[in-house]
Every structure is written in C-alpha cells, then in structure tokens.
C-alpha cells in the first residue's frame, strides 16, 4: 500500500450521491486493503463493482459492531489491514466507526482517516449562513430527550447543522420554530450531489409552509442560524 504509515484500519469516505466524488486515494486504499468492512454489503458491493474493485466484503454495522470487535482486532494482530466504509459519507459521522476506532487506538493499532465526502460541509457552505463557527448536532432524538435537546439549543450562537429524515422534517421545523422563533433563518438541503439536489432557504416558518405543500424525499441536512 502506497502510504507513509501502514495502518491496520483505514476509514474511507464514499460518495453521498455522485460517484465522481470518490477520491483517487480512496480507490487506492480500497484496492490495497485485505478486507473491506461495510455497513451494508449490498450497497458497498455496487460501489466496488462500479470501480472494478474485487476485495472481500464483511458486514460491520450498528447491530453487530460490539460482537465483531474482538474478531477484527485478532485479525489485525495477524497483520490484516481493514478498510471501513459506510453506505455514504465518512465513517463515524452518524454512522458506525467510533467504537472500532477507539478500540484500535487502545490496542495500539494505527488508524488512518481519509478526507472525503460528507454532507455536513456542502450543506453548511451552501446555506448562506455564517460558517466560521458551527455545531453539528447529528440526528435529534426521535422521542425521549428530543424536547430537552431542542430547548438546550435556544442560546446557541453558532450555526447549527442537523441530519434529518423526510418523515420528521416538518415536526422538526415546527419544534425549532416554537423554541428558536419562526423568523430564525435556515436552509434545507436535500439530495446533495445528486441530480435532484435542492437547497431551500428562508425562515423556519417559510420552510415549514413550503414543505407542507411539497412532497419530501431523499436525505436531508438542515442548517439553522444561531441566536
């Protein structure tokens, strides 16, 4: 592998939509790794087939990461090099990865995280909101702790970035408007890098009205101005 440090684990970002966003280095690492750990082997299998990469794929996701750890670490001890990918974006960002990285570091194995695709930065920069300081909130809790989390953001002065499901966006816009005020500026970025990419900007009340009248599909990043 053409790397200055031969790590045992490589975190490899994959495109969030447009396959052209994969980096040359990501392709190099995927071709050189012994085993590719994938959140969904079917999704990653299509990506590897597109780039003609023939490497063993093993499942590594939120439901099996704890029981997979010891087996993976044992194989690292034998010299096996792993590359971790998720369905889209950078491993560890609202996706599996943190636990494996922590345990690799604790065991003394080198970890290398490649730069690459993530939805956070394009959505933030695209929003037109201040981006010199921001906070990434990931997904809000679905039920327990949701109201408390939102209320805790009432005094946040930095721009806030959320991941959201199309099924919960309207509810989120309503709750944010109640706590932060309906005139707070925001941007909904949908299907980033894909053919139907959409960035709708305006106040929380304006966005709420818009999405009550338009069908929502696809992955969503919600960017909200700070206080």
Q: Parallel, antiparallel, or unpaired: how do β-strands 111-113 and 9-11 relate? A: parallel
Of residues 10, 1, 24, 27, the one with CA closest to residue 82:
10
Of residues 220, 180, 215, 135, the one with CA closest to residue 205:
180
Count CA within 13 A, CB hemisphere, residue 192: 24
Tell me what pLDDT residue 2 has. 52
Low-confidence spans in the chain with pLDDT less than 70 = 1-5
Q: Which two tokens stand for residue 150?
A: 């939102």
Tell me what pLDDT residue 82 has. 96
DSSP-assigned states of every residue in 53-91: ----EEE--TTTHHHHHHHHHHHHHTT--EEEE-SSB-T
Of residues 106, 94, 101, the one with CA closest to residue 37:
101
Tell me what pLDDT residue 4 has. 47
**Neighbouring C-beta atoms of residue 10, cutoff 10 Å:** 26
Predicted structure pTM score: 0.90
Q: What are the chain's domains?
A: 9-113 (3.40.1010.10), 120-224 (3.30.950.10)
Q: How do residues 27-68 score in pLDDT, each as one tens digit?
A: 999 999 999 999 999 999 999 999 999 999 999 998 888 889
């Amino acid at each position: 592998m053409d790397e200055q440090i031969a790590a045992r684990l490589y975190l490899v970002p994959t495109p969030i939509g447009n396959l052209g966003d994969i980096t040359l280095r990501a392709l190099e690492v995927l071709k050189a790794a012994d085993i590719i750990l994938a959140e969904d082997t079917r999704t990653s299998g299509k990506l590897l087939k597109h780039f003609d990469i023939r490497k063993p794929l093993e499942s590594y996701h939120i439901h099996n990461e704890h029981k997979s750890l010891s087996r993976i670490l044992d194989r690292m001890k034998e010299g096996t090099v792993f590359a971790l990918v998720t369905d889209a974006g950078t491993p560890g960002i609202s996706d599996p990865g943190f636990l494996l990285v922590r345990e690799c570091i604790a065991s003394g194995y080198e970890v290398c995280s490649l730069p690459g695709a993530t939805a956070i930065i394009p959505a933030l920069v695209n929003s037109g909101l201040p981006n010199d300081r921001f906070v990434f909130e990931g997904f809000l809790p679905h039920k327990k702790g949701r109201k408390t989390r939102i209320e805790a953001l009432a005094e946040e002065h930095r721009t806030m970035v959320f991941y959201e499901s199309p099924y919960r966006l309207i509810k989120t816009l309503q709750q944010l408007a109640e706590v932060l005020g309906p005139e707070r500026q925001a941007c909904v970025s949908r299907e980033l890098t894909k053919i139907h990419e959409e960035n709708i900007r305006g106040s929380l009340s304006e966005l709420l009205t818009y999405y009550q009248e338009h069908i929502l599909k696809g992955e969503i990043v919600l960017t909200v101005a700070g206080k």
